[in-house]
Chains A and B, each alone.
Chain A
Amino acid sequence: AQTVTQSQPEMSVQEAETVTLSCTYDTSESNYYLFWYKQPPSRQMILVIRQEAYKQQNATENRFSVNFQKAAKSFSLKISDSQLGDTAMYFCALDSYGGSQGNLIFGKGTKLSVKP
């Protein structure tokens, strides 16, 4: 079975500082995608960053970057220069089938608060 675990239910960070959110996963598939989605209070799910398992290079999107450790099945999200607008729930998600089937498996989420 595929699972995604986020061990930090809540985190807080000061504005302009850096924070890392943790995620571990389990899958027996060799081809898969990993995602971080953000859900602000407006509740819409927004893609933050995506990583293909076959790519060794860690994905980056502006202030957001990941540390993908395939052997350890770890996929952490680093947010640099945190901004007040980063306050949201963050969900780690796994697509075990390389896009060939329907569902993403989501973790329980980490609630991030950015404080001024």
Chain B
Amino acid sequence: TQLLEQSPQFLSIQEGENLTVYCNSSSVFSSLQWYRQEPGEGPVLLVTVVTGGEVKKLKRLTFQFGDARKDSSLHITAAQPGDTGLYLCAGAITGGTSYGKLTFGQGTILTVHP
């Protein structure tokens, strides 16, 4: 059974601050995806990382996939109120009986105060 431990569970910060969300597992994943979800809506894909050590940047968001493909982090620089939401990491294993299944972390509820 693959598990993803996501931390912190809650994050309340002021506009302009930086933050990092972590996603850790004892399992190796073929890829890891980060999503952002608004209340009552489905998760919206932010990024997919597939190579160990990979770093991807999306404006003020920086995503990193660990060398061993067991962990990942999301760093937000100069957070804005519009960044408020639920952030989810999800791991995928390609092939065999794992196809089509994402294993999700518990999520991080981020609140950015003006």
Q: Do A and B come from one complex?
A: no
Query: Could you tell me which A residues sit within 8 Å of B by CB distance?
Result: none
Query: Could you tell me which B residues sit within 8 Å of A by CB distance?
Result: none
